Structure formats: C-alpha cells, structure tokens
Chains A and B, each alone.
Chain A
Amino acid sequence: MTCHEIKELTVPYLELDLEPSRIWDVTAHLDGCAGCRTEMESVRQVLVRVKGMAVPDPGDRFWNEFPGKVRLALARERPPIPAGLRKGMAGWPMALAASVLLLVGAWSLKGRRRRRRSRARSRRRPRRPSPSCLNLPKRIGMNSGMRTPIWLLSKWRPAWTVRRWIACSEISREGMMNRHSWNRSSMAAMLVAVLASPVLAQEMERPGGPRPMPPVMEELDRMGGPERGPGGGEESGRHFEAKKRERLMQALHLDEATRSRLSQRLEQLDQKGEDLRRQRKEAFEALREQAQGLRKGMKRGSREGGGRKSEDAPPAAGPAVDSGALKQALERVYAVEDAMSGLRRERVHALREILTPEQQVKYLFFTMKFQKAMRERLQREQGGQEGGPMDMKR
C-alpha cells in the first residue's frame, strides 16, 4: 500500500469506516511509515478538536419556553394554501368577476339598445297604442313573453290587432327590462362582492403596517424593559447608547472616581457628537439641494441638445447651478466629517488617559461586541424573517 493510498484512507480509517482487511493493511503501513503516522495524527487531532467545540446551553428557561414560542409563531403564520392553488391565487376571483361583469354589461347594453329602438319606433308612429291594450284577451296579452307568437301574425287576424299587440308587448317588455336590469346589476354587484371577498379578507388579515417582529426580538424587547418607547431612530439610538454605557460601566468594574471622570468625559463627547450629527444632517441637506439643481441643469442641457450626440456637435449646455455654492456645500460636508473623525480620536484619547490598558481592552471588545449585536438586531428588524423558497419534497 502506498502513502498516497493511505492519505485517501486516513479519515475512513479513523472513523472505522473500512473493511477489516483494509484496516489491517493501513495499520501495517503506518507501523513502518513515520510520515503517514504524523499525517494520521494531525487528522485525528483535527477531529478531536472539532468534536471538542461545544454549543453553549441557552438554559432551562429557554428550553421550557421554546414550545410556547413555536406555538405562537405557528399561530401567527397564515394557514397553508394548497400547492395547486398557490400560483395565481389572488388573481382568479378577480378575473372571474371581471368576466361576469363583462357578460352582464353586454346583456344590459343589448337591452338598452332594444329599448331605444322601441322608443324610436313609437315616436315614428302617430297613433300610440292606447292603454286599453292592457285589456286584451289573456292569451294575447301581458304574459305573452318576449317573442311575438307566429300564429298571431297569420293573415286571418286583422292588422290593427297585431300592431296593437306588438306595441303592448314592447311596453310590457320595457317595463320588464327596467325591472330586470336593476335586478341584474344588483346580482352582478353581489356576485362580485362574494367572489372578491376571500381576496379582500386575505388582504385585511395581512398586517398592513410593519412586518411582525421575530419572536426572538420580542423576547429581547421584553428582557430589555419598558423604557424603549415608540420614538424614532434618534430616540432608539440614544436608548441604545445609554444602555451600552450602563452595561459597559458594570463590565469595567471601575472605582467611583474613575467612573465619574469617565462618564463626565464621555457625556461631553456625546454632546459634541450630537451637535456634529446635526451639523452633518444640515450639511447633507444643503448638498442634496445643490445636487438636485445640478441634475436639473444636466437634464435641461441634454434636452436642449436634442438628445442627439453627434461627433461634431457642441457639448450640451452646462448645468445651471451655482458652482460656488456647490463647492461650499461640499466643503461643509468635508469639514463636518473631519470633525467627526476628530471626535473619534478624542474619544480614544480620553480612554487612554482615564483607563488602564486592561480596561481599555475590555472597553474596545465590549464596544465591538455591542455594535455587532446592535447591527444584527437592526438588520433582523429591518429584514424580518426571510424564509426564502424551501424545498420540502420529502
């Protein structure tokens, strides 16, 4: 057996995933080859070390509460939609309703056209049928339906009778149409409402506002206490800062004098930071105004140039923006950014002055850890729970 073959069999050998005869061969080779023994030992070390990395136990409270959290999350989820209906689910009732509406619309229009025709005919005729037509014998009269019976048009009937009957039937038909067209519209409306109601109900059920908070975040919030109000980003930022400061002070185990000195200095720097943030906001707003002017100018320039770009054409008219003001706005932004960098340096200097090296290390690690936690929390809150498409065929 060669060293190369042994290399291939190292992991199966250590995992006892080989046939007994092969295990015997590998052992025999290892007895006589120091290089392979070293390699085998290094792989064994890796497996031992990897195996030794434990998962921290989140505690009994977590395990006890876990099924309840799952139940809560499950209740929050919408009931599963059958896979066959999932595709285009929202569209089909609306499509059906639209088709029904079209049909009903066409039907009503047809009726109106007939009514208009009958009105026009009656206007053309000098002698309108008298209301006495209503006293016609029953078999010819009102319940004669929509069509003129063919037997009525036979020659042996006097012409006036036929004419009168037709006029009467048109009148009665008009009445019926009016009555029926109302019924049709209301029926169509009801049909649309019934068909659209599941979709509307689904939409109503779906929370319109922010996405539901992940359960873990809810838990964190509950642990975080009631002080986190519904304020905006600035408010929550201040809250996080205060919380971070409080936990930092606890972790550093400072004596009273150092603690008050540090808090005083950090508060001063925080105040300065807040001023600078406000200035930065103003500076960026000014810059945004200038940028908008610049964009408008460029658009105008391209329009005046006719949108064509020929080789020998003069360049489009320059942006109608005050370049002095733009430069000024830029300088203001740079100045504020410089000041913010200076503030960061000042903060580091303050730490170096006040804290011992060990405390500085703790401070730095703590800040990094806290920032990471906050960043992750923010991302989770913004991103929500993104399950993504899942393959669950089994």
Chain B
Amino acid sequence: MKNNKWKWTLGLLLGFSTSVLAQQVIDRSKLFKRESPYERYTTYRVSVTGGLGLPAGTFGDYMDKTSLRNYTLGLDFVFPKNNMSLGVSVGSQYFKNRLPRQVYNFDGQDISAVQTRTFSAYPLVVTGSYHIGKVNSLVRPYIQVGVGGAYAEVANYWGAIATGDNGFKFVAQAGAGVRVLFKKTGNLGLELGATYQHIPFTVESEGIKDASTLNVRAGLFYRWW
C-alpha cells in the first residue's frame, strides 16, 4: 500500500511536469490508465525450451526412437499492437538408436553388424508468430512459422564404420503453443509448444528423403523492455 502511494505521488509529479513541459493537459482519470510499456513499445522475449523429438516421415523408418536431446533457444521482438512477434531461434537436436546385431542382406552381399544410427541437426531459423490475445494477457496461445538453415548429419555406424551424409540444409518449421505468465504483470512465464520441422535431406543408402521431426517443447520465457 505504501508503495502504491509512492507511485501515485510520483505519477502525479510526472504528470504535472509533462503537462508543464509539453504544455499538454492530461486528464487526471486517464493519467493512471496509461498503457504498459508492452502495449506501447516493441519489447523483447527470450525463451528456452526443450523436450521430446519424434521422427516423422521417411526419417521415422530410419530412426525408430524418440529423443530428449532436443533444445531450442529463441529471441523475439514482440510488437505491441498487432499480436505478432518476429525472432530468431537456434536449436540442437540429436537422435540415436542402436540396433542389436543382425545380418543385413543386399544384392550379393551380407553384412552382420550392430548399427548405431544417429541424426543431429543445428537449425538457425527466422520465426514469425501470431498470438491470440493481447500482449499482456496471462495466457497467450500462438502459432509460429520459421524458415532458415541447418547443419544436419545422418551418420549410421556399422560397428565403428561410419556411413551417411551431412551438410547445410534448408529448414521449414510450423508450430503452435501457449505462453503463460506466472504473474499478470510479470516477466517470467511458462512456454509449451509443438513444432514440426521439415529438412529436405536425401540419404539414399538409408532410404531417407527428408529428416522431419515433431518437437514437443516445454520451457520458460522471459520478457523485458
């Protein structure tokens, strides 16, 4: 309460000073209903999420295992009025599946080996988000799309003999989620979401046409101005 009183006094003083300086009369009733900075300026948001990676498509045939080594760090410019935000995100994904020894039959060739199938990707994407609800809403669902590039590697180890391919690949992402502020006027919140990530990546020897994954993410976000 004491604190509030202080704010009132400061607000009044500020109000008077601006009116004097700018020769602008602000209605007393409006003075204390000024929008928060989040509603006035472009503000910042950083989010760190991690979670479950699920292989999809032809990649799912190669990688028959989910991963928890799946992280995303995002930085966004949050616009005050139009419910949009624009940002960049970097990710790190690693999948590994060890298959017990078996004999693989090819045309005129048989190979007995323990396979260690791995996939890693480090995407860097530019993201655009549209939120449902105003910038200061406690709960803000969102949809997000992103495009960018990734260093990706498919490495299948037959015993210790590596086969596969790697390189810089195009990345397209589409996702949805929700951000929940811990406090109505707070900076910190919970982020939950799922992102489908498509990387065109052909590895004929493994029957892979695209390294697509569904990433289910949970983490924290922090906003400031």
The answer to whether A and B come from one shared complex is no
Chain B interface residues toward A at CB < 8 A: none
Chain A interface residues toward B at CB < 8 A: none
